[in-house]
């Protein structure tokens, strides 16, 4: 079995997370600090936080602030401290030490950090929780009374689409203005161009085009820091004509560029910090000669489409401290000139197409604290010089075709190492008494040969937060001491090994961690499970040999935050415990392929966030509970291969988001409800095969225009196949076999261009088999067998009027209706049965869909995480 793309994506994310965590931010922060010192020095004022101010503030400024507060919506009461006389001590206010005037108003919403751990679910939850700490409402012009204001930060709030107030252009002392991600919209007022003292400007939101306004930028002579993401694309022509020799900090991340890097950018002689990441830049990275960027120390070109090899001129930028080229398509070998960049502290080149040997010169980068060469085509052996980079905190060589075993000696000098990524490299062959010189917090050694014995050296690691040893050929039981190693761990992946005995128990000591996830699937873990840990976020135990009853959630934990519980493909028996209904944040519940019996607890309707409910292939019985209709975000419901009886409950019509419904192989009865077609308009797959449904196939089913597989086989359906079946334009597979359908096969079937598989056998269909268009390719006679009244191609039986080759005759007139009437008048269809069945290779789809789904959750989650990490990186 292949590790899914989901898993690969997860790896990449994990790697990024750990990289961020290990990041050598000291130098970067230092730079920011220096920049502020420079700024403060130049404009000659000193800020101090209100907390240690003892100056009572000016009354008119106090009133102005109160007026400003009145206009704001402050749900979480962030401005609770805004009472009393001394406004200098209020939250977010800074006064000048000398004059006592308010000079700083910092209302940036940092609460995202405090709340981060609550935001594990999907985007919606994230927004609602994060949203509560956002300020909104109106910006009162009373701010104009703060004429000494130097610093205004309203970023990361949500002003619900109001315009940026024009009067901000009159706060003429402003040095720093940050309106990033604050929910303003509309055009940007040209008055901002009046802020002639501005040194730092950050505007990042999806406003309209900013053209007019940017001309005014020409007046901003002192601008040294400019953050325009995501507008860069509109601003380029203007910046180009601007005399920006003073610009030291330029952030044009995520700005929808789709071009080569414009040449004028290489003329910005003062640049220290340049961030062009997450655009669509392509072509060569830098020109062959680079004269002006001599001050550059921070260069981020990650996540673009650069696709040539690295030019030597890049290696003349010997002030570079930070270089990130991750996630491009850069080719060729790594030049020896790399060794010139001796100031480099962070070098990220992962996810590119580099090839050849890792140059020995890498050993000259003695300051390196972080090196990421993962997911490239580096081959040969790892140069010994690399192992002498003793400052390394993070080293990632994963996913390269490198050769050679790694031994104890290699790591002897890496005493600082905290992150080690060796995934997919050949083998780690260390002695059983190895005591590594480092304490790792992140270990990625998946798909590497580590076993068969459980690695003893892990015993020495006291600070492990993330451990991936999936597919690492480890057999046997997990030693008891591992409980100490994994105490408080946030990510553990032992999947795809041959581990036996009890699955590991890891006590959380850390309260709620933002990300806590155990992937223990596809091993040989056995025995009963005592308690279900609920203080983690995802638990994967599928494809093991676990038995006994489904464990109860650990109700002693204050909060059950489990989002994903996958216990499928085990030997659990007994019934589904009611206590599972207390897992009120559950999004994915998969208990399929076990030996569960009893009924589905009716409290299941309490799991309001459930998107995936898979209980297929068990021995559950009774009625399908009506309360399932409460799960109104449910997207996938599989109850197939059980012993459910009765009718499909009417309440399921409320599952408007349902895309996959499989009730096949049960003992359900009644007619197929018409509301499936009328209400469940998102359905992509509907499988009702092998039940006791009877009656006609409702015409309304043909409204399901997203349907790809439809399987109604092995029921007792009668009547005709609906004529409008041709409306199911996405249909890929159709199974109506083994019913009592009668009448002719509608000509509209030939409109189903995506149809790749069909089975109409063993019914009572009559008349000529239609032809034309796509049906011509479905020429296997077994599709139609067991219908004694059918004639024409591809059957051997010719039709009574003598035209054995229906294809030829119908081919002349493509109009489906006409041919339908042909039959009708030929009296070939006394049709009283209509049947419609679709089929999808359910299991196949089930698996891939499952992964796709997890991938989806994952990507949302990671987006949030990465955002937070990025913010943290700035604020650290």
Distance (Å, rounded) from C-alpha 40 to C-alpha 200?
12
Strand partners, 539: 518, 565
Q: How far is the CB of 641 from ligand NAG (least distance, A)?
A: 6
Question: CB-wise, 156 or 739, nearer to ligand NAG?
Answer: 156
CA distances 843 to 1, 638, 753, Å, are: 14, 11, 24
Nearer to ligand NAG, 583 or 591 (CB): 591
Alpha-carbon radius of gyration of the chain? 33
For ligand NAG, give the closer residue by CB, 409 or 852.
409
For the four alpha carbons of 515, 521, 525 and 527, in that order, the dihedral sign comes to positive
- Extract the tokens encoding 587: 């999004």
| Residues 393-422 interacting with ligand NAG (rule: CB under 6 A) | 407
Nearer to ligand NAG, 325 or 450 (CB): 450
Name the minimum Å distance from CB 686 to ligand NAG.
19
Closest CB to ligand NAG among residues 168, 728: 168
Which bin fits 168, alpha (ψ -120 to 50), beta or left (φ > 0)? alpha
Q: CA–CA separation, 563 vs 612, rounded Å?
A: 11
Torsion of CA 711, 713, 718, 724, to 10 degrees: 30
Residue of 602, 661, 663, 654 lying closest to 633 (CA atoms) = 654
Please, which residue, 168 or 344, has the CB nearer to ligand NAG?
168
Nearer to ligand NAG, 331 or 416 (CB): 331
Q: For residues 21 and 443, what is the distance between their CA atoms, to the nearest angstrom?
A: 13
Is the N-terminal amide bond of 646 cis, ω within 30° of 0? no
The DSSP H or E segment spanning 153 is strand 151-153
Compute the distance between CA of residue 105 and CA of residue 149 in angstroms, rounded to an integer: 8
Tell me the closest approach of the beta carbon of residue 1 to ligand NAG, in angstroms.
Answer: 6
Residue 267 interacts with ligand NAG (CB under 6 A): yes or no: yes
Quote the least distance from Cβ 304 to ligand NAG, whole Å. 11
Nearest Cα to Cα of residue 247 among 214, 227, 225, 264: 225
Alpha-carbon distance values, 452 to 4, 429, 471, 486, 497 (Å): 24, 11, 11, 20, 9
Helix (H, G, I), strand (E, B) or coil at 464: coil
* Minimum distance, C-beta of residue 424 to ligand NAG, in the bound complex (Å): 7
The stretch near ligand NAG (CB under 6 A) out of 94-102, 256-264, 336-344, 680-688 is: 256-264
Please report how close the Cβ of residue 330 comes to ligand NAG at its closest, in angstroms. Answer: 14
Q: Contact region for ligand NAG (CB under 6 A) — 257-265, 603-611, 695-703, 738-746? A: 257-265
**β-sheet bridge partners, residue 427:** 405, 449
Nearest approach, Cβ of 625 to ligand NAG (angstroms)?
Answer: 22
Query: Restricting to residues 613-672, which ones interact with ligand NAG according to CB under 6 A?
Result: 617
| Member of 264, 434, 457, 514 binding ligand NAG (CB under 6 A) | 264
CA dihedral of 819, 822, 823, 824, whole degrees rounded to 10: 120
Residues 552-611 that bind ligand NAG (CB under 6 A): 593-595
Q: For the chain, what is the total number of helices (H) and then of strands (E)? A: 12, 55
Place of tokens 């604290």: 369
Residue 309 beta carbon to ligand NAG: minimum distance, rounded to whole angstroms: 13
In this structure, what token pair is assigned to residue 695?
């009656």
Q: How many residues in the shown chain lie near ligand NAG by CB under 6 A?
A: 44
Applying CB under 6 A, does 23 fall inside the site for ligand NAG? Answer: no
Q: Which stretch binds ligand NAG (CB under 6 A): 131-139, 259-267, 767-775, 854-862?
A: 259-267
Residues from 842 through 871 that contact ligand NAG (CB under 6 A): 871
| Distance set, CA 867 to CA 32, 231, 457, 861 (Å) | 19, 18, 34, 10
What's the min distance (Å) between Cβ of 190 and ligand NAG?
A: 4
Is residue 433 involved in binding ligand NAG (CB under 6 A)? no
**Judged by CB, which is closer to ligand NAG: 642, or 763?**
642
The interface region with ligand NAG, picked from 1-9, 10-18, 785-793, 850-858 by CB under 6 A, is: 1-9
Helix (H, G, I), strand (E, B) or coil at 612: strand
Q: Which is nearer to ligand NAG, 251 or 793 (CB)?
A: 251
Between 214 and 233, how does the x/- string for binding to ligand NAG read (CB under 6 A)?
--x--------x-x------
Q: Does 42 bind ligand NAG (CB under 6 A)?
A: no
DSSP bridge partners of 189:
none
Kindly tell me which residue out of 11, 78, 104, 108 binds ligand NAG, with binding defined by CB under 6 A. 108
Name which of residues 467 to 526 contact ligand NAG (CB under 6 A): 471, 496
Q: Report if residue 691 touches ligand NAG, rule: CB under 6 A.
A: no
Alpha-carbon distance of 257 to 505, in angstroms, equals 49
Q: Which two tokens stand for residue 245?
A: 């020799």
The residue among 110 and 584 lying less far from ligand NAG, judged by its C-beta, is 110
Q: How far is CA 853 from CA 8, 309, 564, in A?
A: 14, 36, 11
> In a 3-state reduction of DSSP, which class is residue 874?
helix
Q: Contact between 279 and ligand NAG (CB under 6 A)?
A: no
Could you give the C-alpha distances from 488 to 303, 470, 792, 856, in angstroms and in order? 33, 19, 70, 26
Decide: 782 and 761 in contact? Cβ < 8 Å: yes
> What does the block give as tokens for 863?
């987006």
State the Cα–Cα distance between residues 583 and 534, nearest whole angstrom. Answer: 8
- Rounded Cα distance, 93 and 78, in Å: 13
Q: Which of 124, 128, 379, 777 binds ligand NAG (CB under 6 A)?
A: 379
What is the nearest approach in angstroms of ligand NAG to the Cβ of residue 801?
Answer: 45
Of the listed pieces 261-269, 606-614, 715-723, 809-817, which binds ligand NAG according to CB under 6 A?
261-269
Q: Which two tokens stand for residue 368?
A: 């390196």
Residues 823-842 binding ligand NAG (CB under 6 A) are: none
Nearer to ligand NAG, 594 or 662 (CB): 594
Q: Go through 18-44 and write b for each residue having 16 or more CB atoms within 10 A of its CB, e for each that does not.
A: bbbbbbbbebbeebbeebbeebbeeee
Which of 172, 462 has the CB closer to ligand NAG? 172
Helix (H) / strand (E) containing 552: strand 552-553
Give least dist CB 524 to ligand NAG, A. 15
Nearer to ligand NAG, 111 or 633 (CB): 111
Residue 447 interacts with ligand NAG (CB under 6 A): yes or no: yes
Provide the greatest CA pair distance for the chain. 107
Query: Interaction with ligand NAG in 715-774: which residues (CB under 6 A)?
Result: none
**Min dist. Cβ of residue 677 to ligand NAG (A):** 28
If the CB atoms of residues 227 and 685 are measured against ligand NAG, the closer one turns out to be: 227
Task: Give the residue with the Cβ less far from ligand NAG, 54 or 433.
Answer: 54
What DSSP assignment string belongs to 40-65? Answer: HHHHT--EEEGGG--PPPPHHHHHHH
Instruction: Tell me the closest approach of the beta carbon of residue 392 to ligand NAG, in angstroms.
Output: 23
Site for ligand NAG in 149-208 (CB under 6 A): 155-156, 169, 178, 180-181, 190-191, 193-194, 200, 202
Answer whether 163's CB lies under 8 Å from 187's CB. yes
Site string (309-348) toward ligand NAG, x via CB under 6 A: ----------------------------------------
* Binding interface with ligand NAG (CB under 6 A): 1-3, 54, 108, 155-156, 169, 178, 180-181, 190-191, 193-194, 200, 202, 216, 225, 227, 243, 245-246, 258, 263-264, 267, 280, 355-356, 379-380, 407, 429, 447, 449, 471, 496, 593-595, 617, 871, 874
């Amino acid at each position: 079995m292949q590790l899914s793309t989901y898993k690969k994506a997860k790896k990449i994310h994990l790697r990024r997370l750990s990289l961020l965590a290990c990041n050598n931010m000291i130098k970067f922060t230092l730079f920011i600090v220096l920049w502020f010192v420079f700024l403060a020095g130049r404009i000659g004022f000193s800020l101090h936080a209100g907390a240690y101010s003892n100056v009572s503030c000016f009354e008119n400024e106090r009133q102005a602030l109160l007026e400003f507060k009145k206009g704001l919506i402050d749900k979480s009461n962030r401005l609770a401290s805004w009472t009393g006389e001394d406004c200098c001590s209020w939250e977010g206010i800074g006064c000048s030490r000398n004059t006592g005037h308010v000079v700083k108003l910092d209302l940036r919403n940092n609460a995202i950090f405090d709340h981060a751990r609550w935001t594990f679910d999907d985007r919606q939850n994230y927004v609602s929780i994060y949203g509560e700490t956002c300020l909104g409402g109106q910006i009162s012009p009373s701010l104009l009374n703060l004429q000494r204001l130097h610093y205004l930060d309203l970023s990361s709030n949500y002003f619900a689409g109001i315009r940026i107030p024009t009067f901000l252009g009159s706060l003429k002392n402003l040095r720093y203005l940050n309106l990033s991600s604050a929910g303003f919209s509309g055009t940007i007022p040209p008055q901002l161009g009046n802020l002639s003292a501005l040194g730092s400007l950050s505007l990042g939101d999806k406003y309209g085009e900013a053209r007019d306004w940017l001309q005014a930028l020409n007046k901003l002579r002192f601008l040294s820091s400019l953050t325009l993401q995501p507008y860069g694309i509109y601003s380029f022509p203007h910046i180009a004509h601007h005399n920006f020799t003073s610009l030291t900090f330029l952030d044009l991340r995520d700005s929808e560029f789709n071009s080569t890097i414009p040449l004028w950018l290489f003329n910005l002689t003062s640049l220290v910090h340049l961030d062009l990441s997450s655009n669509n830049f392509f072509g060569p990275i830098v020109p062959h000669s680079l004269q002006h960027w001599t001050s550059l120390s921070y260069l981020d070109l990650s996540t673009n489409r650069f696709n040539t090899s690295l030019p030597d001129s890049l290696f003349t930028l010997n002030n570079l401290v930070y270089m990130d080229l991750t996630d491009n398509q850069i080719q060729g070998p790594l030049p020896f000139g790399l060794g010139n960049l001796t100031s480099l502290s962070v070098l990220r080149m992962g996810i590119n197409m580099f090839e050849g040997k890792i140059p020995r010169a890498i050993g000259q980068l003695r300051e390196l604290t972080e090196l990421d060469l993962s997911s490239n085509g580096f081959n040969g052996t790892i140069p010994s010089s690399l192992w002498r980079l003793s400052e390394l905190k993070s080293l990632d060589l994963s996913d390269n075709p490198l050769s050679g075993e790694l031994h104890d000696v290699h790591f002897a000098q890496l005493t600082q190492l905290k992150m080690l990524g060796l995934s997919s490299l050949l083998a780690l062959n260390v002695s059983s008494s190895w005591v590594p010189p480092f304490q790792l917090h992140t270990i990625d050694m998946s798909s590497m040969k580590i076993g068969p014995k459980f690695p003893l050296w892990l015993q020495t690691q006291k600070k492990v937060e993330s451990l991936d040893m999936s597919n690492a050929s480890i057999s046997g039981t997990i030693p008891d001491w591992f409980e100490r190693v994994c105490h408080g761990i946030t990510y553990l992946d032992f999947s795809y090994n041959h581990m036996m005995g009890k699955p590991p128990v890891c006590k959380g000591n850390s309260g709620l961690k933002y990300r806590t996830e155990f992937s223990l699937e596809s091993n040989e873990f056995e025995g009963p499970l005592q308690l279900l840990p609920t203080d983690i976020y995802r638990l994967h135990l599928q494809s093991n040999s676990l038995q006994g009853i489904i464990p109860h959630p650990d109700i002693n934990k204050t909060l059950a935050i489990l989002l994903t519980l996958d216990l499928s493909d085990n030997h659990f028996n007994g019934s589904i415990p009611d206590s599972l209904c207390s897992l009120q944040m559950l999004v994915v519940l998969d208990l399929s392929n076990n030996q569960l019996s009893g009924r589905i607890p009716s409290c299941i309707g309490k799991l309001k966030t459930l998107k995936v409910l898979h209980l297929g292939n068990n021995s559950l019985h009774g009625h399908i509970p009506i309360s399932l209709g409460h799960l109104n975000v449910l997207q996938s419901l599989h109850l197939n291969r059980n012993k459910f009886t009765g009718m499909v409950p009417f309440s399921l019509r409320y599952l408007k988001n349902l895309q996959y419904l499989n009730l096949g192989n049960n003992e359900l009865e009644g007619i197929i409800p018409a509301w499936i077609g009328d209400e469940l308009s998102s359905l992509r797959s509907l499988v009702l095969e092998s039940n006791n449904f009877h009656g006609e196939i409702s015409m309304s089913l043909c409204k399901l225009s997203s349907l790809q597989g439809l399987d109604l086989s092995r029921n007792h359906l009668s009547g005709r196949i609906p004529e409008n079946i041709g409306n199911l334009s996405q249909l890929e597979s159709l199974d109506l076999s083994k019913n009592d359908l009668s009448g002719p096969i509608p000509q509209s079937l030939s409109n189903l261009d995506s149809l790749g598989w069909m089975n109409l056998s063993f019914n009572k269909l009559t008349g000529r088999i239609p032809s034309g268009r796509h049906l011509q390719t479905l020429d296997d006679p077994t599709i139609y067998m067991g219908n004694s009244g059918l004639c024409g191609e591809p059957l051997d039986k010719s039709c009574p009027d003598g035209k054995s080759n229906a294809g030829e005759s119908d081919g002349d007139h493509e109009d489906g209706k006409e041919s339908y009437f042909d039959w009708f008048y030929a009296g070939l269809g006394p049709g009283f049965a209509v049947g419609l069945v679709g089929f999808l290779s359910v299991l196949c789809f089930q698996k891939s869909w499952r992964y796709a789904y997890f991938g989806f959750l994952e990507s949302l989650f990671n987006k949030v995480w990465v955002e937070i990490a990025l913010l943290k990186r700035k604020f650290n």
